Amino acid sequence: MKKVLVVEDEQTISRVLTVYLQHEGLHVLQAFDGEAALSLFYEHGPELVLLDVMLTDMDGWKILQEIRTKSSCPVIMLTALGDIDYRLKGLNGGADDYITKPFVGEEVVARVNAVLRRSANVLDSENTRQFGSLKISLDSHAVTLNGEPVMLTPRDLSLLLFLTERPNRTFTRDDLIENVWGMDYDGSDRAVDLAIKRIRQALSGWPATQGEIRTLRGLGYQFCVNGK
């Protein structure tokens, strides 16, 4: 049974989310503050975190940052802040999705299931891809650069794998949304740009002579190998 950690300081909202998620056959852990959230996260290792931005003791951004230093576990941000800057802050910080309050329980369940499917279906193969000092192990979903592990969220890893399967081919944002995010994604295509930015930052030590993720203005993105 997959575990979902719900981090929400409003107990009524937390109970509602718990009921909906349990109805889907998920095991729900509840935390009402940041300290408890991190403790439960490290103790139980959930498959997904629903994380409220506004908590009493620490904000959700700090918790997301802490999680990302240790894990690529999917995180969906819960926020009453409708401003696009806050949404982009979450996505740029490594969140996999965001849900704005007030929300419909069925929507939360659909988003959770979509993110869990993406993280479970990244790729299950015993192949290994190597591009100079960049090595991608598909059986363990691990990425290393110069022998050191590279931390990527499941969605960013899915995007990197999709591009590395098709080197030197150009894909538009819409292509990448359809093939990586999925047809059920209804957010901004700016998420593609943010994901590419995070991957480039994670691979900043990868020599350009070995490869790069190239932007073709007005066309899209390309995983370019050996400068081709």
Q: Which of 1-5, 16-20, 147-151, 155-159 has the highest mean pLDDT?
A: 16-20
Lowest mean pLDDT, pick from 46-60, 83-97, 180-194, 197-211: 83-97
Are the CB atoms for 49 and 76 separated by under 8 Å?
A: yes
The pLDDT score that the predictor gives to residue 125 is 43
End-to-end CA distance of the chain: 46
Residue 199 has pLDDT above 50, yes or no: yes
The pLDDT score that the predictor gives to residue 28 is 97
pLDDT digits (tens, 9 = 90+) for 61-115: 899 988 887 777 889 998 876 655 666 666 666 788 888 888 899 999 999 998 8
pLDDT digits (tens, 9 = 90+) for 25-75: 999 999 999 999 999 998 888 989 999 988 988 888 899 988 887 777 889
The stretch 170-182 carries a mean pLDDT of: 92
- The amino acid present at 93, given as its one-letter code, is G
Q: Which sequence spans correspond to the domains of the chain?
A: 3-120, 128-225
CA 75 – CA 96 distance, rounded (Å):
5
Q: Verify cis geometry, omega within 30 degrees of 0, for the bond prior to 102.
A: yes
**What's the CATH class of domain 128-225?**
mainly alpha
CA 122 – CA 158 distance, rounded (Å):
5
pLDDT higher at 130 or 5: 5
**What's the CATH class of domain 3-120?**
alpha beta
C-alpha distances out from residue 76 to 37, 109, 228, Å: 14, 11, 37
Residue 126 has pLDDT above 50, yes or no: no
pLDDT higher at 119 or 207: 207
CA 50 – CA 76 distance, rounded (Å):
5
